[in-house]
Amino acid sequence: MSIPTQPTETTIMTKAYRLYGKSPTSNDVTNARDSAMAMVKSDMMDEGREWSFMRKVSVRACTINKNSIQAPTDFSKLISAVVCDGTRYSTAQTGSTTSITLDATDSSTSAEIVGKDIAIKSGTGANQVRQIIAYDASTKIATVETWTAPDNTSTYLIIDEKQDLYLKDIWTYDELKQTYLENKPHYIFHQADDAEGDFLFDYTPDKEYVVLLRYYADLRKEDTDTGTNVRYARILRLVEQLFIQGAFVYLLQDDSRTAAETSKYASMLQRAAGQYLKMTMEVGLAEDIY
């Protein structure tokens, strides 16, 4: 039995037009895709921000004497934050989609670093973190799972220790009177703006730590190229029928079928939420959420 064809936004729009009873032109598909897909994604995000398939991880490098880092551009909601430290910090010689070649002077042995995480702090491939699964001390090549290949502009940190950061409400940040003091951060505060904001710390970092952010991303900001974005391709497979029905409702407008098909769409949206949306009950405001 062959594997079903990977759905795309174009095939989804074409199927929606068939439900509508029309053979679409390429312009029809493009115009509807730009609006209908956005509508469904917006409806999904209105339903909730904790979609299981939108969990992501990103690294943000701290700067000495600066007590903030920028949130990911697709940030929606924080899951956890960890400040990471290590003694092996340098610039890579080169890399590939499954490896990184450490600094030529690095004296690490396989026993010392295999199993540890390596974070790309800056340069090509910045904001990624992967576990080292093998290391050849003679070639300095560390093997990792698939990532965007680093190169000789990439700075890295091999993580030796991690410490949880505790999320606190932004309005309590002003209660801190000595945020200029240098130390390892303990608390993190999210300050939102149009660019998804910054995270502030209770202390100004005294070293070049990295912060490991696990978060829920905003579906409306996901890269839609299924050829390169495996995550988005998987999302389309998981909720293809929801996208088709939502696009169909968009096409109907004032059609006599609108009410019935809109009700069906709402029901499908609720079913998808029940399957893929993490349901939480917030009771009051905790001082330390994570």
181's tokens: 């003091």
pTM: 0.86
Q: In this predicted structure, what is the pLDDT of residue 2? A: 66
Return the domain boundaries, the chain. 9-49+219-276, 55-217
pLDDT for residue 137: 95
Task: Specify the pLDDT at position 31.
Answer: 92
For position 204, what pLDDT does the model report? 94
* pLDDT tens digit sequence for 40-98: 999 999 999 999 999 999 999 999 989 999 999 999 999 999 999 998 999 999 999 99
Please list the ranges in the chain whose pLDDT falls under 50: 281-290
Structure confidence at residue 195 (pLDDT): 67
**How confident is the model at residue 166, as a pLDDT?**
94
